[in-house]
Amino acid sequence: MRIPPKYTQKGAIALLGGATLLTLAILIFIIVFILEKGLPVLSFNFLFKNPEDMGRAGGIFPTLIGTIILPLLAIIIATPLGIFTSVYLSEYTKETRATKIIRFGTDCLAGIPSIIFGLFGYIFFVITLEMGWSILSGGLTLAVMILPTIIRTSEEAIRAVPKSYREVSFSLGATGWQTVKKVILPNALPGIVTGIMLSIGRAIGETAAVIFTAGSSLRLPGSILDSTRTMAVHFYILAREGISAENAYGTAAALIIAVLFVNLSAYWLMHRFISKRS
Amino acid sequence: MKLIGEKGVTKVLMITAFSAISILLLIALFIINEGLPFIFKYGAGNFLLSSDWQPHLNKFGIYPMIVASIWVTLGAMIVGAPLGVAGALFLSEYVPRTIMRIVKPTIELLAAIPSVVYGFIGVMVLAPLIRKNFGGPGLSLLAASIILGVMILPTVISISIDSILAVPQSYREGSLALGATTWQTIHMVTIKASKSGIIASIILGLGRAIGETMAVIMVAGNSVNIPHSPLDSVRTLTANIALEMSYATGMHRQALFATGVVLLIVIIILNSIASVAIRKRISKR
């Protein structure tokens, strides 16, 4: 017996709609769960005081510094590399074997799990280049990790700049680089910045790649060669070693707020960018 | 003068682009260089197919971890793929575009939540639920599968939506004009036309699941054994690396890098399949 199309249609709506609602409900649950338990712990003192007794008491100030400085370093290294690469891919070459190789390479790089970046950063930066567990090793490792995201989003943003803009620039006698500098990059900027923001979000939440390269020292770093601990790593250690559930929730809430803030800003920027275009 | 500058710029850009890619080679090189000699010395068969993982006795068989990784990844697919594809179909076919444009980025926020937070939710919420309702330790293959299933949702949904939206509107109109309902159009026309993109989204999700580390360490229980039930505690390849890396030296460390080599090969194969599937879709247009 066949079910009449009218009923399969209704069943499909219920099932597919249910799946969508479930997905949204999970997202909301995670955010609400962490914030509900963590917000009461969050306070000015918690954020800006030094931890005591391995994080059992006190605040998370050094990890706040670590969370700011590591992604910042990664962005400073990866942004010029990523933008130059995407300019080369979109403006300076036709589709050749070379660009195909570069593209395949960035795709591969994007799919590599963070633990592999951690292993690489450990053996290359920490051991071979003798940087030790440091902000520098961690920042370089994170830079490698976020590079594909920056290349891809920048390339998309550059390709979205209308062709006529380039033609006008060229017809005025501008060279390729002048066109890139004065016309293409300014117009692609919001898209590029969106990619950078998303990368910062990823770097803030990263644990596996950071713990093996930047280490987990709870002291305030004095130089770029000192080890540091990010909020994500601190949260992982507090939760896993059962040091303090209360402080774990507080750190998680700070982490979620930071990540959501960065990502929502990225979306807001992208939205403005798109609505300006159309 | 201008022309010389122009040529210089082209060179600099080209060098930058290739150095970005050489980083990939560097990663592969260093991991392989550290791991591959071990595989030859210890024997690939012994390494991959023995169940004896006792680093203090120089016994390094990763077979249980391979099996665990496969099960956890399959489990994540069973949880995440239907849910994700269903969500993608609903958002692209049943919901007005304006709502889709709000809901899709919202769901993509799931990808922004750090994996340690997923792991924590697994420990605090999911594991006790499993322990209470099904028995066992709670921290298990099942818990890891569910958490990873949720973690791959944004990948599956986002890439599926892109490929479903790439199906020409005329296909749908043709089907609807013949009197088909939206659902008939979806399963007879839209899914068929966007099949390779949907499959690619699932494969990319698999790649993400097999490579996930921190969430799995927190929820899978981490005992080295071949699971007999979804309620058993397991240790995946990634967890094995991350758990022991901090204190491993000598041969033990090499064995962990060799585990990384295995992982890297699996991931590159999965991603190549996915990128072929995506490219097939584009060239068909």
Per-residue pLDDT tens over the stretch A220-237: 888 999 999 999 999 999
Q: Do A252 and B120 touch (CB under 8 A)?
A: yes
DSSP string across B267-282: HHHHHHHHHHHHHHHH
Q: How far is A164 from chain B (nearest CA, A)?
A: 21
Cα A142 versus chain centre, distance: 9
- Expressed as residue numbers, the domain containing A60 is 44-277
Q: Which helix (H) or strand (E) holds A52?
A: strand A51-52
- Structural domain includes residue A75: yes
Task: Note whether A20 contacts B: Cβ–Cβ < 8 A.
Answer: yes
B240-251 burial: b if 16+ Cβ within 10 Å, else e: bbbbbbeebeee
Q: Give SS3 for B53.
A: strand
- Structural domain includes residue A177: yes
**Ranges of each domain in chain B:** 47-284
- Structural domain includes residue A17: no
Percent of all residues in chain B with a pLDDT value above 70, rounded to a whole number:
96
Please give the pLDDT value at position B276.
81
Mutate which: B18, B19, B21, vs A, most A CBs within 10 A = B21
- Which chain B residues touch A26 with a CB distance below 8 Å? 110, 150, 153
- Structural domain includes residue A149: yes
Summarize pLDDT for A4-36 with one digit per residue, the tens: 888 888 899 999 999 999 999 999 999 999 999
Q: How far apart are CA B235 and CA B220, in angstroms?
A: 7
Please give the pLDDT value at position B1.
46
- Structural domain includes residue A13: no
Task: Note whether A46 contacts B: Cβ–Cβ < 8 A.
Answer: no
- Structural domain includes residue A48: yes
Please give the pLDDT value at position B278.
75
Q: How far apart are CA A19 and CA B157, in angstroms?
A: 11
Q: How far is B226 from chain A (nearest CA, A)?
A: 23
Q: Which of residues 241-280 of B touch A (CB under 8 A)?
A: 241-242, 245-246, 256-257, 260, 263-264, 267-268, 270-271, 275
- Structural domain includes residue A9: no
Q: Do A119 and B82 touch (CB under 8 A)?
A: no
Please give the pLDDT value at position B251.
92
Summarize pLDDT for A99-139 with one digit per residue, the tens: 888 888 888 888 899 999 999 999 999 999 999 999 999 99
Mean pLDDT of chain B: 91
Summarize pLDDT for B111-170 with one digit per residue, the tens: 999 999 999 999 999 999 999 999 888 999 999 999 999 999 999 999 999 999 999 999
- Structural domain includes residue A36: no
Instruction: Tell me which CATH code domain B47-284 carries.
Output: 1.10.3720.10
The total domain count for chain A is: 1
Q: How far is B51 from chain A (nearest CA, A)?
A: 23
Tokens representing residue B236 in the block: 């995946």
Summarize pLDDT for A151-199 with one digit per residue, the tens: 989 998 999 899 999 999 999 988 888 999 899 999 999 889 989 999 9
CATH code for the domain in which residue A254 is found: 1.10.3720.10
Task: Note whether A189 contacts B: Cβ–Cβ < 8 A.
Answer: no
